[in-house]
Structure 1
Amino acid sequence: MIRLENISKQNGSQILYIEASASLLKGEKVGLVGPNGAGKSTLFRMIVSRELPDEGQVSVDRGVTIGYFDQDVGEMSGRSAVAEVMNGAGPVSDVAAELRTLEAAMADPDQADDMGAIIERYGEVQGRFEELDGYALEGRAREVLAGLNFSQEMMDGDVGALSGGWKMRVALARILLMRPDVMLLDEPSNHLDLESLIWLEAFLKGYEGALLMTSHDREFMNRIVAKVIEIDGGSLTTYSGDYEFYEAQRAQNEKQQQAQYERQQAMLAKEIKFIERFKARASHAAQVQSRVKKLDKIEKVEPPRRRQTILFEFRPAPRSGDDVATLKNIHKGYGARRIYDGLDFGVRRRERWCVMGVNGAGKSTLLKLVAGAAEPDEGAVSIGASVKMGYFAQHAMDLLDGDRTVFETLEDAFPQAGQGSLRTLAGCFGFSGDDAEKKCRVLSGGEKARLVMAKMLYDPPNFLVLDEPTNHLDLATKEMLITALGNFEGAMLFVSHDRRFLGALSNRVLELTPEGVHKYDGGYTEYVARTGHEAPGLHE
């Protein structure tokens, strides 16, 4: 359906592709992977002709419809969310627009002379609308929006009043409703809560067209794709299998390449030693000459390209008392909406609580109460002896001073620390070399999250309160964070929609439901096994 043939592409001084080739076949579900800046979004834009390759060609079979979701959703306002979604549903939305125009014409007395032609055209257009299942369109649009966690009020309200994250969901719903032959989804899992993510996963599994997608959610990617295309060093390599298979295969290929490289290096060293030793002796001239020619003809094995892996190790935090945080008889509401009525909850040393609950259940509110960023209406929150808290909140990224560089931000936070130690810290979180001199205002969402995390983790806390710490983080940084937090010896209270993060780091689950609060011993994996669902809003 789609073929990339020997494409080369350069952006400024950065070479993205060198004679790279790959294909997307009918019905395939493919994950596109590669480090940030490798050219994943550029590849999507070349497929939909928003950019052209410098060399080579991108060919799409005649008649193939493509739905492309990217992070740039454009302007939305003046319509309801449902109307916005229906308007982007491809051919059927054009037919619906013509029907509305014809209906207006039939009611217009000034067009009475043309009524015969208008009615005839209306019949044709109506037939086409039925053929495209147009009358079921609104129902399907509402179904998709409900899957992405829209309430009826949000569906019917002005789309312009929605936040950026919810507008992203509207843009995604448009593509899903369109059901094109090919979907190109660039980070569809961003901005989604766990329930929406699981719904989208099921939707894409049942989708019969071809799919090419990127995602920073490993579990989501792994459950959907059966083929992976990797961008690495300008070339595209295809692996048949899910994301886990790709990782294992890639590691094995690297190992084999390393072994081949080492064998060849040993052989070359031996040959060079022989040449050096005997090159001055006339009696060995023929042998030396023959070995020199042999070396010239050998195809050199390159060592495997080492991906820069970020590693962060906690310095040991001071030990806290056994009672880390205690909430007694907490009442909290916003206006008429009650969030908590008499909540009792405590965190003890070395407990790692993940907080589960549908949108609006009060997950972030709980974290704010514990962190002191919000006050209860009634009741008491107390933090235990020797507790040093690190709080990661979504709004913390907005508080960075745009005029300060990454390095200056770290210096401001830790004026006593040595330059070397702060450079190492910046490097651990992906700001090596010139990146440490970037102004905060030009940082991406992921870079801001990494900087806030670096500030929080440098002077080690023994109690971490984390509200969606994995939002905006790429797969490599997420893995680094999971590894680092796996070795963390303090207590944790966190909210995340990343199932790998939840499963790897929790040893307790607090579930917030309309019926009340439930506490589970054992982590997220045990919670799923015990309840039979992956999130509180979903019941199998």
Structure 2
Amino acid sequence: MIRLESISKQNGHQILFIEASAALQRGEKVGLVGPNGSGKTTLFRMITGQEHPDEGQVAVDRGVTIGYFSQDVGDMAGRSAVAEVMDGAGPVSVVAAELKELEAAMADPDRADEIDEIVAHYGEVQARFEELDGYALDGRAREVLAGLSFTQEMMDGDTGALSGGWKMRVALARILLMRPDVMLLDEPSNHLDLESLIWLEDFLKSYDGALLMTSHDRAFMNRIITKVVEIDGGALTAYARDYEFYEQQRALNEKQQQAQFERQQAMLAKEIKFIERFKARASHAAQVQSRIKKLDKIDRVEPPKRRQTVLFEFPPAPRSGEDVVSLKDVHKSYGGRRIYEGLDFLVRRRERWCVMGINGAGKSTLLKLVAGTAEPDQGTVAVGSSVRMGYFAQHAMELLDGEHSVFQSLEDAFPQAGQGSLRALAGCFGFSGDDVEKRCRVLSGGEKARLVMAKMLYNPPNLLVLDEPTNHLDMATKEMLIAALSQYDGSMLFVSHDRHFLAALSNRVLELTPDGVHHYGGGYTEYVARTGQEAPGLRG
């Protein structure tokens, strides 16, 4: 269906592809992987014709329809979410908008004298809408939006009033409703809650078209794809099977290449030593020349490319008391909506609670109450003795001063610290060399998240309160964070939609449901085994 034939592409001084080739066949589900900046989005844009390779060609079979979801969703003001989603299906959305206008005209008392004409026109437009299967499409659009956690009010309200994350879901729903021959999905798992993520997973597994996608969520990727295409050093390499197999195969290939490289280096060293030793002796001249010619003809084995990884290091935190946080008879409402009525909850030392619940259940509210950024309407929230808290919230990234550099941001937070220790801290969080001079306004979401974590962890807390800490992190950084937090000695209270993160780090589950609050001993893996569901909103 789609073939990349010996493509080369350079952006400024950066070479992305060098005579790279790959193919996407009918019905294949492919995960596109590679480090940040390796060219994944550029590859999508070349397939859709928004960019062109410098050399080679991108061939798409005639008549193949492509739906492309990217992180750049643009402005959507003035129309409902349902209208925006149906718009991806073509002319039917225009007819739907005309029906709405005519319905409003029929209800307008100022146009009572035109009513016969309006009703007649409405009948014609309605017939056209039925002919285009509009009523079924409206239902399907609502089904997709409901799967992505939209309420009826959100579906019919102005899309312009939605946050960026919800607009992303509208853009994603457009592609899903369109059901093209090929879907190109660039990070579709970003900004989704766990229920939406699992619904999307099921949708994509049953989709019979071809799929090429990127995702920083390994569990999501692993359950959908049947093939991996890796971008590495300008080349495209295909691996059969899922992401887990790709990781194992890549590690094995690297080990074999390293062994091959070391064997060749040992052989070369031996030959060079012989040449150096005997090059001045006439009796060995023929042998020396023979070995020099042999060395010139050898294909040199390159050592495996080393991926740069961020290493998080948690200095030992001071010990807290046994009771870390206690909530007693907590009531909390927003407007007329009650979030908590008489909540009792205790976090003890070294407990790692993951908080689960559908959108609006009060997950982030609980974290805010514990962190002290929200007050209960009634009841008490008491932080225990010797507790030093680190709170990671999404809004913390928006509070970074855009004009300050990474290093200035750290200096402002820790004016007593020496330059050397701050540079070491920045290095631990992936800011080495000139990266520390980057202004905060040009940082990616992942870089901002790493900077906020660096500021949070410089004076190590013994209680971590984390609200979706992995949202903007790439897979390698996420793995390093999980590895570091596994060694962390303090207590944790966190919300995450990443199942790998949940399973690796939780040893308690707090589930918020309309029926009340449920506690589970054991972590997320035990919760799934006991309930038979991966998220509260999926229960029958």
TM-score category by the smaller chain?
over 0.9
Q: Could you report, residue by residue, the CA deviation over 1:349-388 in whole angstroms, capped at 9, with x for unpaired residues?
A: 0000000000010101110111111110111111111111
Which residue in 1 is equivalent to 2:108?
Answer: none
State the TM-score, normalizing by the size of structure 2: 0.94
Q: Is the 1:326–1:345 Cα contact (8 Å) retained in structure 2?
A: yes
Q: CA deviation at 1:520?
A: 0.2
Question: Structure 1 residue 101: deviation in Å?
Answer: 11
Instruction: State the partner residue of 1:470.
Output: 470
Aligned pairs for 1:349-368 (under 5 A) are 349-368=349-368
Deviation for aligned residue 1:12: 0.9
Distance 1:318 1:97, change over 3 A: closer
Please list, as runs of the form range in 1=range in 2, the aligned pairs for 1:391-430 lying within 5 A after superposition: 391-430=391-430
Counterpart AA for 2:257: Q
Give the letter for the 1:378 counterpart: Q
Alignment correspondent of 1:450: 450
1:375-524 map, 5 Å: 375-524=375-524
Partner SS for 1:537: helix
**Is 2:249 aligned against 1:256?**
no
Q: Deviations over 1:210-257 (max 9, x none)?
A: 000001111100100010011111111111110000000000000000
Aligned to 2:314: 314
What residue number does 1:106 align with? Answer: none
2:332/2:340 contact within 8 Å kept? yes
Q: Secondary structure at the match of 1:168?
A: helix
Equivalent residues of 1:228, 1:240 under 8 A apart: yes
* Paired amino acid for 2:331: H
Shift of residue 421 of structure 1?
Answer: 2.0
Q: Secondary structure at the match of 2:391?
A: strand
Structure 1 Cα separation of the partners of residues 41 and 169 of structure 2: 19
Instruction: Tell me the CA shift for residue 135 of structure 1.
Output: 3.5
Query: For residues 389-412 of structure 1, what are the alpha-carbon distances to aligned partners after superposition, in whole Å with 9 as ceiling and x for unaligned?
Result: 000111111111111100111111
The corresponding residue for 1:167 is 167
Task: Report the Cα distance in structure 2 between the residues aligned to 1:27 and 1:250, rounded to whole angstroms.
Answer: 25
Partner of 1:191: 191
Residue identity in the other structure for 2:32: L
Distance 1:505 1:532 in 2: 20
List gaps (5 residues or longer) in structure 2.
104-113
- Structure 2 distance, partners of 1:283, 1:94, is 91
Checking the alignment, whether the CA contact within 8 Å between 2:129 and 2:135 is kept in structure 1 is no
For 2:330 and 2:95, the matched residues in 1 are separated by: 55
Conserved in 2, the CA contact under 8 Å of 1:95 and 1:128?
Answer: no
Offset from partner CA, 1:174-197 (integer Å, 9 cap, x none): 000000000000010011000000
Give the Å deviation of 1:457.
Answer: 1.1
Change (3 A) 1:376 1:294: same
- SS at 1:144 equivalent: helix
Deviation readout 1:486-505 (Å, 9 max, x if unpaired)? 00000000000000000000
1:416: Cα distance to partner? 2.4
In structure 1, the gaps of 5 or more residues are: 104-108
Q: Note closer, same or farther for the CA distance 1:415–1:15 as it changes in structure 2 (3 Å cut).
A: same
Relative distance call for 1:297 and 1:95 in structure 2 (3 A) is farther
Does the 8 Å CA contact 1:102/1:122 hold for their aligned counterparts?
no
Instruction: Read off the aligned partner of 1:464 and give its amino acid letter.
Output: L
Query: Alpha-carbon deviations, 1:296-355, whole Å to 9, x = none?
Result: 000000000000111111110111111100111101111211111111000000000000
Cα distance, 1:400–1:127 mapped onto 2, change above 3 Å:
closer
| Cα distance in 2 between the residues matched to 1:184 and 1:470 | 23
After TM superposition, give the deviation of residue 458 of structure 1 in Å: 1.5
Cα distance in 2 between the residues matched to 1:90 and 1:306: 47
Correspondence for 2:6: 6
Counterpart in the other structure of 2:61 = 61
Partner of 1:30: 30
Is the CA contact (8 Å cut-off) linking 1:3 and 1:21 kept in structure 2?
A: yes
Match of 1:272 in 2: 272
SS of residue matched to 2:247: helix
Mapping of residues 233-312 of structure 1, within 5 Å? 233-312=233-312
Equivalent residue letter for 2:436: A
Q: 1:77 maps to which residue?
A: 77
Distance 1:283 1:410, change over 3 A: same
SS across alignment from 1:261? helix
User: How far apart, in 1, do the equivalents of 2:334 and 2:366 lie?
Assistant: 13
User: Which residue is equivalent to 1:206?
Assistant: 206
Matched residue of 1:294: which SS? helix
Contact 2:67/2:182, CA 8 A, preserved across alignment = yes
Instruction: Return closer, same or farther for 1:494/1:97 CA change in 2, 3 Å cut-off.
Output: closer
Contact map agreement 1:388 1:463 (CA 8 A) in 2 = yes
Supply the distance in 2 between the matched residues of 1:522 and 1:270 (Cα, whole angstroms). Answer: 58
- TM superposition shift of 1:420: 2.1
Give me the whole-angstrom Cα distance separating, in 1, the residues matched to 2:521 and 2:403: 46
Query: Which one is further off, 293-302 or 94-103?
Result: 94-103
CA contact (8 A) 1:332 1:377 kept: yes
CA distance in 1, matches of 2:458, 2:207: 45
C-alpha separation in 1, matches of 2:101 and 2:257: 64
What's 2:138 paired with? 138
Q: In the aligned structure 2, how far is the partner of 1:366 from the partner of 1:156? A: 29
SS in 1 for 2:536: coil
Give the aligned residue type for 1:81: A
Distance change in 2, residues 1:398/1:99 (3 Å): closer
Match of 1:49 in 2: 49
How many residue pairs get aligned? The number is: 526
How far apart are the structure 2 equivalents of 1:515 and 1:100? 39
Deviates more, 1:444-453 or 1:172-181: 444-453
**Separation in structure 1 between the aligned mates of residue 485 and residue 398 of structure 2, nearest angstrom:** 24
Cα distance in structure 2, aligned partners of 1:528 and 1:520: 11
Give the direction of change, closer, same or farther, for the CA distance of 1:65–1:382 in structure 2 (3 Å limit): same
- Which residue in 1 is equivalent to 2:106? none
Take 1:514 and 1:249, find their aligned partners in 2: how far apart are those partners?
Answer: 45
> Structure 1 residue 102: deviation in Å?
13
Shift of 1:134: 3.9
The aligned amino acid for 1:241 is R
CA distance in 1, matches of 2:51, 2:355: 43
* 8 A contact 2:147–2:196 mirrored in 1: yes
d(CA) in 2 for partners of 1:312, 1:43 = 31
**C-alpha distance in 2, partners of 1:14/1:341?**
56
Shift of 1:127: 8.8
Moved more, 441-450 or 169-178: 441-450
d(CA) in 2 for partners of 1:167, 1:80: 11
Alignment partners' CA distance in 1, 2:338 and 2:538: 22
Compared with structure 1, are the counterparts of its residues 422 and 99 closer, same or farther at alpha carbon in structure 2 (3 Å cutoff)? same
Structure 1 pair 494–285 and aligned structure 2 pair: CA distance change class (3 A):
same
Please give the per-residue CA displacement for 1:428-460, whole angstroms capped at 9, x wherever unaligned.
212111111011111111111110001111210
Superposed displacement of residue 128, structure 1: 6.4
Letter of the 2:276 partner, please give it.
E
Taking a change above 3 Å as real, the CA distance of residues 61 and 508 of structure 1, as seen in their structure-2 partners, is: same
**Following the alignment from structure 1 to structure 2, what is the Cα–Cα distance between the partners of residues 88 and 423?**
49
Question: Aligned-pair distance for 1:93?
Answer: 4.5
State the AA in 2 paired with 1:353.
Answer: W
Task: State the one-letter code of the partner of 1:251.
Answer: A
In structure 2, what is the equivalent of residue 369 of structure 1?
A: 369
Are the structure 2 counterparts of residues 443 and 153 from structure 1 closer, same or farther at C-alpha, using a change threshold of 3 Å? same
- CA distance in structure 2 between the aligned counterparts of 1:209 and 1:134, rounded to whole angstroms: 23
Deviation, structure 1 residue 4: 0.5
TM-score by length of 1: 0.94
Shift of 1:291: 0.5
